[in-house]
Amino acid sequence: MASAPFDRDIERDSADAPMAQNGQQNGGQPGSQDGKPKRVLIVGAGAAGMSAAYHLTQQPGQFDVTLIDAVDYCGGQAFSIPLDKDRHGASWCNQGVQGGSYIFHHTATMFARQGFRADPVELQVSFGKDEQFWTNVFPTQLLARHQKEICRLVTYLKIMRWFEVFFALLPLRLVFKLGGFSDEFTNTIALPMTALFLGTGNATPEVPAIMFERLCTSPTYGMWYKPDRHTVVSNQPPMIVFPKLSDFYSTWKDDLVARGVTVRLSTELTEIVQRDKHGVVVKLKPRTPAPDHHNPAGGDPDEPAGEETYDELILCCLADTAKKVLGKTASWREKKVLGSAKFSDDITITHNDADYMKRHYENFYREDLAVAKTTSHANGNSNSAVEDYQSRLDWAANNFRPMYYIKMYPSDRSKLEMCFDTSNYQSQFPEKVPFEQHVFQTIYLNKARDSHLWSDAEIDETKVIRRDWWHQLCHGYTHYLFVVPWVMFLQARRRVRFAGSWTLVNAHEVAILSGLAAAVDLGAEYPGDLEHDRFAFLCFRLYYLLAYGKWYRRRQTSSKSKKPNASSTNKANGDNGLIQKAQDGQSWATGLYGSVYKGPGVSETARSVWKEDMKKGLSTDNLAEKNASGRSQP
Ligand SMILES: Cc1cc2nc3c(=O)[nH]c(=O)nc-3n(C[C@H](O)[C@H](O)[C@H](O)COP(=O)(O)OP(=O)(O)OC[C@H]3O[C@@H](n4cnc5c(N)ncnc54)[C@H](O)[C@@H]3O)c2cc1C
């Protein structure tokens, strides 16, 4: 732990004589003040809030933690919905949040700590339609048409990497314009490749170019590493698909309660009344649960709010909500930084309208669009090389099963509609289900600006399973200019800390990391097993540096402490005397730079959830036999 980080907090907020201190500064216990546990209120029981609460409880007796959420479940944006098992083959699906990559070490560890596992999946995508269709599974006419630009892109990416400082925050659209790429190439190839990453949606033309560049050039988190000179991408990125999130979060909630956390659902923070040396005074009020649990019904304006006092507050809600509830206590800087985070209102329609999918997307292998050979003109010289893709086409003919789709609107190809074939993607579904019985989640983006483009009215109402609204972070370059670098200057000021994926990028792993960082900043210890996992530990240290301006010092793995600190290690593992368990973390980080996770919480085989759910009666056996050679083929 950094030795004197809290001096900064005290100095900045001297007007209010802040009391936000941790044990490292006091030289005493991390959380307690005058021998009493520090009372911490965590607002928001999404991934960030749950993580903050969990890691504070690893210091027994130091923190008295209360976790509230306005809705009546834990998990926030991560939840599951029920399905008709006999029709779709599975009795549930995760809504919105699907999965992540093997760099999600903290998320996988949390799954393991609660007895859950993610399953491996190799991602297949389908972008565009007809002559504008392309995929990572086999080359298509669109890619053949843009051969020269694809070759040039690979060289351009190298330049972007060399001069990253210059390109980093420039909007993607501008960078492609500067590179002389055609609109069709930018809109149909480059934008969808980026939009897929963390769901940047219709903010994609504005995202910082570094996102796209790293996606293609980073061997650790680059989904499209390495770019292919002929077909842009030729790999199927290895991903993990999440277990049933509602079960995971409700088990996690029970675990928190067992560890002494007071969990109050259907409880809304309406206002922070006071933040000073006496504590944080908040107004809380009950909220009537929405019939479908997720979509807000406007709160309960007439419900009276009661005041409560805490020692510390962690706001794990979105930035705009945080700004609102800070009310009159918000500083100029808080208003500026929190107010610079932009959000859009998107809707996911979960449905079973196979005709809509056939009209708007390419769902199957199409021989007429596939290309067996391409000719490349590498490095712009006249020497050409012919590439033969017949084996990829043969494989795709039987195995193309897109999981993630993007459609570019014909009237404005820079605007996108995104869609999941949940039956192909999530691992509780049977391997073979007739296409007409698949479950799709189509996401229509940015209601205020782009709803005139939406084709949601075309979905057959009788095939709609559910509608869910999201308030989504826009990842435009302004987020990385005016929000992310400044978050550290808001932390621990007058007893308030901020966590949530909005502090960096909208991903489950970031939310977990942000909650953990808030707990550590209050005096909790980074888990011993993850400190031995060098990639997880590096991610945490970098996040902590970015979000708090502090460098976390090794506890378990420093040369001075060859032997792990027994008490803290045991706490981190939640069982007695198993120091070895923490050291096991050493073997979790494998692959290049340790980015591939080989620890607990991820299973070895695909669709293991389906096999387990079948035994429990939650999923059915295969619903189709005729399409044995490729389960999503008609
Ligand atoms: C459609 C969609 C798909 C996604 N897919 C993926 C994916 O495949 N992989 C991935 O890694 N990430 C994905 N994400 C992103 C990921 O889900 C989020 O980054 C993460 O879940 C956010 O967690 P959080 O704790 O920061 O915020 P949230 O989950 O939003 O939690 C905030 C909580 O605060 C509560 N709250 C707000 N205001 C108040 C108040 N005043 N009082 C009390 N409580 C309050 C809210 O009810 C909510 O529960 C997706 C997101 C969406 C919307």
- Is the pLDDT assigned to residue 82 strictly greater than 80? yes
43-47, 148-152, 392-396, 583-587: which range is least confident on average?
583-587
- The alpha carbon of 69 and the centre of ligand 1 are apart by a number of angstroms equal to 12
- The alpha carbon of 482 and the centre of ligand 1 are apart by a number of angstroms equal to 21
Task: Give the number of the atom of ligand 1 that is nearest the alpha carbon of residue 443.
Answer: 1
The stretch 167-179 carries a mean pLDDT of 91
The stretch 469-478 carries a mean pLDDT of 89
- Is the pLDDT assigned to residue 605 strictly greater than 50? yes
Task: Give the number of the atom of ligand 1 that is nearest the alpha carbon of residue 47.
Answer: 25
User: What is residue 561's predicted lDDT score, i.e. its pLDDT?
Assistant: 57
Cα distances from 81 to residues 244, 293, 468, 508, in angstroms, run 9, 10, 11, 18
Percent of all residues in the chain with a pLDDT value above 70, rounded to a whole number: 87
- Protein residue closest via CA to atom 29 of ligand 1: 76
- Of residues 634 and 187, more confidence is placed in 187
Give tens-digit pLDDT for 537-569: 999 999 999 999 999 999 888 766 555 454 454
- Is the pLDDT assigned to residue 575 strictly greater than 50? no
The chain-wide mean pLDDT, for the chain, equals: 87
User: What is residue 230's predicted lDDT score, i.e. its pLDDT?
Assistant: 85
pTM: 0.90
- The alpha carbon of 613 and the centre of ligand 1 are apart by a number of angstroms equal to 26
502-513 core/surface letters (b: 16 or more CB in 10 A; e: else): bbbbbbbbbbbb
- The alpha carbon of 194 and the centre of ligand 1 are apart by a number of angstroms equal to 20
CB burial of residue 207 (10 Å; 0-12, 13-18, 19+): buried
- Using an 8 Å Cβ cutoff, are 513 and 521 in contact? no
The stretch 453-460 carries a mean pLDDT of 97
210-224, 272-286, 375-389: which range is least confident on average?
375-389
pLDDT bracket for residue 19 (50, 70, 90) = very low
For 180, the token pair is 């002389």
- The alpha carbon of 317 and the centre of ligand 1 are apart by a number of angstroms equal to 8
Give tens-digit pLDDT for 302-348: 778 899 999 999 999 999 999 999 999 999 999 999 999 999 999 99
- The alpha carbon of 206 and the centre of ligand 1 are apart by a number of angstroms equal to 22
Task: Give the number of the atom of ligand 1 that is nearest the alpha carbon of residue 471.
Answer: 53
Residues 6 or more apart whose CB falls under 8 angstroms from that of 21 comprise 6, 10, 33
Does ligand 1 lie within 6 Å of residue 314's CB atom? no
- The alpha carbon of 385 and the centre of ligand 1 are apart by a number of angstroms equal to 48
Give tens-digit pLDDT for 53-68: 999 999 989 999 999 9
Give tens-digit pLDDT for 249-305: 999 999 999 999 999 999 999 999 999 999 999 999 998 888 888 776 666 777 788
Composition of the chain by helix, strand, coil, percent to 5 = 40, 20, 40
Does ligand 1 lie within 6 Å of residue 52's CB atom? no
For 618, the token pair is 């939650």
- Protein residue closest via CA to atom 6 of ligand 1: 97
Does ligand 1 lie within 6 Å of residue 240's CB atom? no
pLDDT bracket for residue 578 (50, 70, 90) = low
Give tens-digit pLDDT for 493-546: 999 999 999 999 999 999 999 999 999 999 999 999 999 999 999 999 999 999
Does ligand 1 lie within 6 Å of residue 370's CB atom? no
- Of residues 271 and 381, more confidence is placed in 271
- Is the pLDDT assigned to residue 78 strictly greater than 80? yes
Phi, psi (deg, nearest 5) at residue 52: -60, -45
- The alpha carbon of 44 and the centre of ligand 1 are apart by a number of angstroms equal to 9
Most confident range, picked from 170-174, 497-501, 594-598: 497-501
User: What is residue 15's predicted lDDT score, i.e. its pLDDT?
Assistant: 33
Residue to probe by mutation, ligand 1, list 284, 288, 506, 509, most atoms within 8 Å of CB: 506
The stretch 405-425 carries a mean pLDDT of 93
- Is the pLDDT assigned to residue 16 strictly greater than 80? no
Residue to probe by mutation, ligand 1, list 317, 426, 427, most atoms within 8 Å of CB: 317
- The alpha carbon of 229 and the centre of ligand 1 are apart by a number of angstroms equal to 37
The stretch 224-232 carries a mean pLDDT of 87
The stretch 451-455 carries a mean pLDDT of 96
Percent of all residues in the chain with a pLDDT value above 90, rounded to a whole number: 69
Q: Is 155 helix (H, G, I), strand (E, B) or coil?
A: helix
